[in-house]
Amino acid sequence: MKFQLQSFATPARLLEAECDCLVVGITAPRFKGLAKAIDQATDGLLTRLHAEGELAGKAGQTLLLQAVAGLRARRLLLVGTDGPAAGPAPEPAALARAAAKALAATRAAHIVWALGDDEEAWAHAVLEMQQADYRFDAYRTGEQPAPPPERTLSFATPDEKRHGALRARLSQAQAIANGVALARDLGNTPPNVCTPVHLAEAAQALGRDWGLEVEVFDRAAIEALGMRSFLAVAQGSTQEPRLIVLRYQGDKAKRAPVALVGKGVTFDSGGISLKPGEAMDEMKYDMCGAASVLGTLRACAEMRLKVNLAAVIVACENMPAGNALKPGDVIKALSGTTIEVLNTDAEGRLILCDALTYAQQRFAPAETIDIATLTGACVIALGHVRSGLYANNDALGQALLAAGDKMADPAWRMPLDAAYHESLKSRVADLANIGGRPGGSVTAACFLSRFVQGPWAHLDIAGTAWKSGQDKGGTGRPVPLLAQYLIDRAAS
> Which residue ranges make up the annotated binding site?
263, 268, 286, 345, 347
Residues 6+ apart with CB under 8 A from 314: 227, 230, 241, 243, 244, 261, 262, 263, 264, 290, 351, 352, 354, 355
Residues 6+ apart with CB under 8 A from 365: 256, 257, 258, 259, 310, 359, 454
Does 275 qualify as catalytic in the annotation?
Answer: yes
Q: If we measure between CA atoms, which residue out of 68, 156, 177, 161 comes closest to residue 111?
A: 156
Query: Which 3 state secondary structure label does DSSP give 261?
Result: strand
* Bridge pairing between strands 330-332 and 308-318: unpaired
17-52 in b/e burial notation, b at 16+ Cβ within 10 A? Answer: bebbbbbbbbbbeebeebbebbbbbbeebbbebbee
Strand partners, 110: 152
Amino acid type, 86: A
Q: If we measure between CA atoms, which residue out of 461, 467, 469, 421 comes closest to residue 444?
A: 421
Residue 396, class by beta-carbon neighbours within 10 Å (0-12 exposed, 13-18 middle, 19+ buried)? buried
Instruction: Report cis status (omega within 30 of 0) of the bond before 196.
Output: no
| Candidate list 184, 349, 386, 450, residue with the active-site label | 349
Q: If we measure between CA atoms, which residue out of 214, 368, 366, 358 comes closest to residue 294?
A: 214
Does 349 qualify as catalytic in the annotation?
Answer: yes
Neighbours of 174 (CB within 10 A): 21
| Candidate list 219, 247, 275, 413, residue with the active-site label | 275
In Å, how far from its chain's centre is CA 407? 10
Amino acid type, 126: V
370, containing H or E segment: strand 367-372
DSSP 19: S
* Catalytic residue IDs: 275, 349
